[in-house]
Amino acid sequence: MCTFIGFLTVGFQKVLCPGSAQTAGKFVRVGTRPDTLGVQGWLVNVTKTPQVNGVNFGTLLESPGQDITTLFQRDASSYPACNGLSFRAAAEAPCGNNACTLPTLNQQTLSSLNMVNTSLIVGYDWSDVAQLQNYLVLDGAVLDMNSYMALHPTPIPSDSVDAAIRQILTQMPGDSGRDGTRLFFFYPETRAAVPCLIQRYYAGNIDKITPGCFASQLILYAGLIVILSLVMVRFVMSCIFSWFISARLAGPPDTMSLNRSAISPAVMPEGANMSIDNPNGTAPWASGKKLTVPSKSMRSLASSNSTLLNDGTAPIVSLAQIGAELFAVCLVTCYSEGEDSLRTTLDSISTTTYSDARKLLFVVADGMITGAGEKKSTPDICVSVLEADPRFGNPVPMSYNAVGAGVKAENRAMVYAGHYTVAGRRTPTIIVVKCGTEREAATDKKPGNRGKRDSQLILMNFFSRVTYNDRMTPLDFDLFRKIHILMGVTPDFFEVCLMVDADTKVAPDSLKYLVNCMHHDQMIMGVCGETRIANKRQSWVTAIQVFEYFISHHMAKAFESVFGGVSCLPGCFSMFRLKARKSTGEDWVPLIIKPEIVKEYSQSIVTTLHEKNLLLLGEDRFLTTILLRTFPNRKMMFLPQARCRTVVPDTFKILLSQRRRWINSTIHNLMELVLVRNLCGTFCFSMQFVVFMDLLGTVVLPIAITLTYSLIINMALDPPKTFEEAIPLVLLIAVLGLPAVLILITTRKVVYVFWMLIYLAALPVWNLILPVYAFWHFDDFSWGETRKVEGEAKGEAHGDGGAAHSGPSIPLRRWEDWERSRLRKLRREERRRREFERQHGSYMTANGELLTVRSPVHSQYGGSDTISVTSSEDEHWAAQIGGYNENSASYPPPPIGLMPQASVSGESVSASELESMLEHGYDDRPQYRGASQTPSPQRYQLSDRPGEYTPLSRTAASSPVSSTGPVDGLSSAAEPYRTHVKKRSGGGSGAKYGPLGPLDPGSRI
C-alpha cells in the first residue's frame, strides 16, 4: 500500500506527463501578447529594440508572436542534433542567398538589440498552423519551414526527409493543422531526423497539453480539493462544536425535559422474560403484589427497592422523580496498578460533585497478581481501601462464565461490598476479585486473570441479565443482592456506566457533565471526555505526546462529534448508556447490554489475525465499533468540558509497546467500520468516507513522512514557479498549520504551540518508527511492556486456555429461582434455630450469629415464594447463594455520613450479672440510646441517622461473629481459596483472611 501511494504521489505524474511534456502554463498564444515576437520558439519583448537596416519591427509587431528566427545569421554547426545527417534540411546552411539580415543568433546579439526573453513559449493552435504558410507539426513542436522551402522550391531527388516535408506541406489539408508526427515516425530514416528538424526550425509549440498531462493535472487538483476540503471542514466543524454544541450538551437539563413522563426503570424491555400474570412488564423484584412488611429488626436500607416507583407497579414515571442525576455505575478495571494510582482514581471519582447516592464504584481486580515493583498484590490493594459492610460477611468465590477457551472458560470471583471514604464522602463500592478456580490457584502464576475485556463483561453480562430477567450466574445473583443493599434500589435503575482505568484522575465536574450530555439527547449511546497528560514534563517521551493527545480530541473527535460518529471512545475515560428510552417514552432500548453486543464482545475463540487484533489488543475500540455497527443511527460523542488526567508511558520502550497495540487495533477496527453503510452522510460527504481516509492515512504513515521530508528538501532547493508545483506545499502548510490556529481558538493558550513544535520535531517517531514497528509485529498480541507483572515474561493471550474443559457447568438460573432458594435456606435455618432453641435455649448460626426468638422471615420482594421450607435443591444451591444474611438484625447498616456524636462511657458488671450472662448468654448487639441523654464532649464520627444507634468504634469491641466455623452453605471446596489468599496476603492462622489481611465481617467501621 505504501509503495502504491508513493507511486501515485510521485511516479504517476512522471509517467503520465514526462518532463518533455510538462510545459503547461508556459505557453502564450501567438497574437495575444503585444510588443513580442518569437525567436526559436521563445517569446521576446522588442519594445526597446532599435531600428535595424532591412528589418521593420513595426510591421512585424502587427502580428505579435510571429517567428523571426529566419532573420538571424546561422550556420549548420550551430545545431548539434544535426551532426552526421546527410539530408539537405540538416546539412546545408540555413541562411542561403543572404536572406538573413540580423547578426548571428546568440545571447549577445539579443542583448545588443535590447530583446528581453520572457521565458514563455510561443503557443499555436491547430487553426493557427493551418493558416500559416509552410508550417507543420512534429510531436507537438511547430516548425517554420519557410527558409527551407525558399532554398529548395523544387523536390530533391533521393531525399526521404525532403519528400516527407513536401508531402505534409502540399498534400495534407490545411484544416488538419499539418501534423507530420505519424509520417515521420513511421520510417527509421525520417524518425532519426526529427530531433534535428525540431532544433533547427522550431517556432513554438501546440498550445494544448497532452492527455497524460491533463489526467495528471486532473488527479492533482482533485486530490487538492478533497484533502484540503477534509482539512478545512474538520477545522471549521471542530470550531463550531467547541463554540456552540459542546457547551449546550454539558449544561444541566431544563425543567421541561425533566417534567415529561417516561418509562419506569423497573419496566423490562421488549423481549425480556416476564411472567404471564405481569401486565405492566415490570421486573419480578418490582412486582405489583403487596409487599409483606417485615419486623422492625429485619428492616434494612435495602427495603427501599421501590424508591421511585408507586408500589413497584407504575410503568410510567416523571423524569423529575429520577432527577438530573441518573444512577451511574463507575467501572474501574485494575491489573497491575499500585496503591497510589488506584487511590488517585477512586478519590477523584468519589469526590466528584455527583451525589454518592447516585453513583456506585465498581472495581474489578483482574486476577491474583502483583504488579512489577509492588509489595502487595492488586487484590490486596483494592480490598485495603474498602470499608467493608459487616452485613455481608466473608465473601465466597462465585462462579461465572469467563472470556477464555478450554479450562479458562470458567472463573470465580469474590465480591466485596462496602463504602469508599475520602474527604467526608462515603461512596458505595463493589470490589470484584477474580480469584480463579481451585486448579488455577494451585498451579497458575496469575489465577483468575482473563483480561480487561472479561472485567468489562462481568458488568455488561450482569446488567444484561438484570434488564432481560435472564438466567444469572451465582456471581450475578451475589452482585444483585449487594448492589441492592448498598444503593437502596435494584440494579435495573442504573442507566449509565462510566469506564475508567485505574491510573486516571477524573475532574470534579466531569461525571456531572457526562450525565448531562446523556440527558440532552436520548440518541447518544456513548460519550468520552478529554484525556490530558498528568506527567507531561517527566521525560521527552511524555512531552511529545501532549500535542498528540490534544489534537486527537479537539480536532478528530470534535469533528466526528458534529455527526455523532466518534470512531473510538477511549477505555480510560468514557461513559456508555446501558439502556435508553425510546423517543415515544414507552419502552427501553438496551444498548451496551444488548445480548447481541454482549455475545459478540465476549468471543472466546479467536483464530484469525483480524479477530485477534480486534479482541486481544483493542478491546475498547472494538466495543465502539460494535455499537456503531449495531446502532448506526445513534450517536457517539466527545465532550471537552469533561476532563481527566492519565499517566502516559515515560520511556520509549513502553511507548513502543503501547502504540504497537493501538496502531494495529486501529487499522483492523477501521476495516470493520468502513463497511458500515448507514453512517451519517453520503459518498465523499459521509462518515464512511472519513473513516476510509483515516484508514488510508494510518496505513501510509511511513511513506507519508518520507515524502513530506522529500517535499521540504526539494522545495528548499528548487522553489516552485507555478501554482501546480506549489500544491503539495499548500497541502502541507494546511495540514500542519491549521491545528496551531485551532489551539489558539479553542484553548487560548500559546503554550500549546510550544507543545506542537515538540510534536512536529518528533514526527519521524510518530509517522515512521512507531508504524513500521507496529506493522512488523502484526502477529504480536501480547501487552508487552505496558502492564508488567512481577516475574512475568512475554506470555500468551488471555484467550488461550489449553485443553477443553470437562468440569461441571456453571449454574444459570433466573432471579426468581435464586431468590426462592435463598428464602428457603433462611426458612430452613429459622426452623433449625427454633428447634435448637427449644432444646438448648439459643442457637448459633453458621454465620456466627447468636440468635434468639424473632419474627418470621419475610422477603422484601413481593413476588417470591416464602412458604416452602424444604426442598431437595436447598443443599445443592446453598454454596452458590452465599453464607450471609444481609437482613440480620445483628449488623445494622453502616454509617453513611459525618455527624457530631457523643462518646459512650463504659459500664461495670457485677459478679452475679456476669454469672447470669455466662449461663443464659449475652446479647452484645449495640444498645440504642435515646437522644435525650446529656452528651459528652463532642467529636465527629461516621454515623447513619442520629438517634438510632451508636456508631461502632474502630478500636474497641470484639466481633460478634465467631472467627471459627464454616460459613453456612460454603462447600469445602472454598477452603483452598482462603488458604491460597492467606498465603498471598501474609496472614496468620488466627483469623480469616481475604485478598488482603483479616476481613472479619464483624470488624468495626
Per-residue confidence band for 985, with pLDDT thresholds at 50, 70 and 90 = very low
* pLDDT number for residue 937: 34
- Taking residues 517-537, report their average pLDDT: 93
Which among 480, 474, 482 has a CA at the least distance from the CA of 419?
482
pLDDT reading at 406 higher than 50: yes
What is the predicted pLDDT for the residue at 497?
97
What confidence tens digit (pLDDT) does each residue in 601-614 have?
A: 998 888 888 888 88
**Alpha-carbon gap, residue 302 to 462, rounded angstroms:** 19
Coil, helix or strand at residue 72: strand
Beta bridge partners of 317: 262
| Mean pLDDT along residues 939-968 | 32
The mean per-residue pLDDT over the stretch 435-462 comes to: 91
Q: Are 545 and 533 in contact (CB under 8 A)?
A: yes
State yes or no: pLDDT of 823 exceeds 60. yes
pTM: 0.73
Question: Cα(234)–Cα(239) distance, rounded to whole angstroms?
Answer: 9
In the block, cell 521593420 appears at 56
* pLDDT number for residue 845: 54
Residue 301 has pLDDT above 50, yes or no: no
Among 501-505, 563-567, 797-801, 889-893, the range scoring the smallest mean pLDDT is 797-801
Over residues 12-16, the mean pLDDT reads 73
- Output the CA torsion sign for 236, 238, 240, 242: negative
**Residue 765 pLDDT level (bands cut at 50, 70, 90):** very high
| Three-state secondary structure readout of 921-954 | CCCCCCCCCCCCCCCCCCEEEEECCCCCCCCCCC
Residues 806, 810, 812, 817, Cα dihedral to 10°? 120
Q: Enumerate the H helices of 81-144 as residue ranges.
A: 88-91, 107-112, 126-131
Among 309-313, 342-346, 887-891, 895-899, which stretch is predicted with the lowest mean pLDDT? 309-313
Q: Please give the pLDDT value at position 454.
A: 94
The mean pLDDT value for 525-535 works out to 94
Q: Which of 147, 40, 138, 136 is nearest to 92 (CA)?
A: 147
Grid-cell match 435455618, residue found: 829
Q: Of 398, 342, 359, which Cα lies nearest the Cα of 970?
A: 398
For the ranges 201-205, 224-228, 859-863, the maximum mean pLDDT occurs at 201-205
- The Cβ of residue 406 has, within 10 Å, a number of other Cβ atoms equal to 16
What DSSP letter does each residue of 148-187 carry, written as one string?
A: HHHH--SPPTT-HHHHHHHIIIIIS-GGGT-B-HHHHHHS
Q: Tell me: pLDDT of 365 over 90.
A: yes
8 A C-beta contact, residue 205 and residue 142:
yes
Predicted local distance difference test score (pLDDT) of residue 796: 52
Confidence of residue 843 (pLDDT cuts 50, 70, 90): low
The top-scoring range by mean pLDDT among 92-101, 231-240, 726-735 is 231-240
Q: Are 484 and 302 in contact (CB under 8 A)?
A: yes
Nearest to 329 by CA among 556, 524, 490: 490
Helix (H) / strand (E) element for 590: namely strand 588-590
Pairing mode, strands 327-334 and 359-365: parallel
Per-residue confidence band for 790, with pLDDT thresholds at 50, 70 and 90: low
| Candidate from 77-86, 90-99, 128-137, 794-803 with smallest mean pLDDT | 794-803
* pLDDT reported for residue 590: 94
pLDDT at position 911: 59
Least confident stretch, 16-20, 303-307, 626-630 = 303-307
**What pLDDT is stored for residue 925 in this prediction?**
43
pLDDT at residue 24 greater than cutoff 80: no
Rounded CA gap, 231 and 245, in Å? Answer: 20
> pLDDT, tens digit, for every residue of 590-601?
999 999 999 999
Q: Which of 5-19, 247-261, 663-677, 963-977 has the lowest mean pLDDT?
A: 963-977
721 φ, ψ (degrees, to nearest 5)? -105, -20
- Which whole number is the average pLDDT over 15-37? 75
Q: What is the pLDDT of residue 967?
A: 34
SS3 for 314-377 is CCEEEHHHHCCCCEEEEEEEECCCCHHHHHHHHHHHHCCCCCHHHEEEEEEECCCCCECCCCCC
pLDDT at 298: 36
pLDDT band at 766 (very low <50, low <70, confident <90, very high): very high
Over range 545-572, report the average pLDDT.
Answer: 90
pLDDT band, residue 901 (cuts 50/70/90): very low
Nearest to 579 by CA among 733, 686, 463: 463
* Bridge partners of residue 900, in order along the sequence: 940
Mean pLDDT to the nearest integer, 147-165: 88
Q: How far is the C-alpha of 649 from the C-alpha of 538, rounded, in Å? A: 10
Burial string for 780-793 (b: 16+ CB within 10 Å, else e) reads bbbbbbbbbbeebe
Q: What is the pLDDT of residue 933?
A: 38
Could you tell me what percent of the chain has a pLDDT over 70?
Answer: 77
Predicted pLDDT of residue 869: 40
Q: Is it the case that residue 803 has pLDDT exceeding 60? A: no
Our CA dihedral for 871, 874, 876, 879, rounded to 10 degrees, sits at 180
Q: Give the mean model confidence (pLDDT) for residues 630-656.
A: 93
CB–CB of 413/579 below 8 Å? no
What pLDDT score does 990 carry? 40
Say which residue, 43 or 373, is predicted with more confidence.
43
- Largest alpha-carbon pair distance within the chain? 154
Contacts of residues 653-658 at CB distance under 8 Å and 24 or more positions apart, as own/partner, are: 653/785, 654/785, 654/786, 655/541, 655/545, 655/770, 656/769, 656/770, 656/773, 656/784, 656/785, 657/783, 657/784, 657/785, 657/786, 658/784, 658/786
288: pLDDT confidence band, cut at 50, 70 and 90? very low
Q: What is the structure's pLDDT at 474?
A: 93
Whole-number Cα distances in Å, 437 to 328, 383, 472, 789: 31, 20, 19, 20
What is the Cα–Cα distance from 291 to 289, expressed in whole angstroms?
A: 6
Q: In this structure, how many other beta carbons lie within 10 angstroms of the beta carbon of residue 639?
A: 27
Q: Which residue blocks in 154-283 are alpha helix, DSSP H?
A: 160-166, 181-186, 188-201, 211-240, 246-250, 255-259
Q: In angstroms, what CA-CA distances link 63 with 102, 143, 676?
A: 19, 18, 63
pLDDT in tens, 227-247: 788 888 888 888 899 888 999
Tell how strand 425-434 and strand 359-365 pair up. parallel
Residue 816 confidence (pLDDT) above 70: yes
Q: What whole-number distance in Å separates Cα of residue 670 and Cα of residue 658?
A: 18
pLDDT of the residue at 711? 82
198-215 in b/e form (b: 16+ CB < 10 A) is bbbbbbbbbbebbeebee
Please name which of 439, 454, 398, 441 lies closest in space to residue 806, comparing C-alpha atoms: 439
CB within 8 Å of 321: residues ≥ 6 apart: 308
From residue 264, give the alpha-carbon distance in Å to each of 134, 260, 579.
94, 12, 12
Given a cut of 60, whether residue 429 has pLDDT beyond it is yes
d(CA 732, CA 728): 6
Tell me what pLDDT residue 514 has: 96
Packing angle of the helix pair 619-630, 452-468 (nearest 10 deg): 30
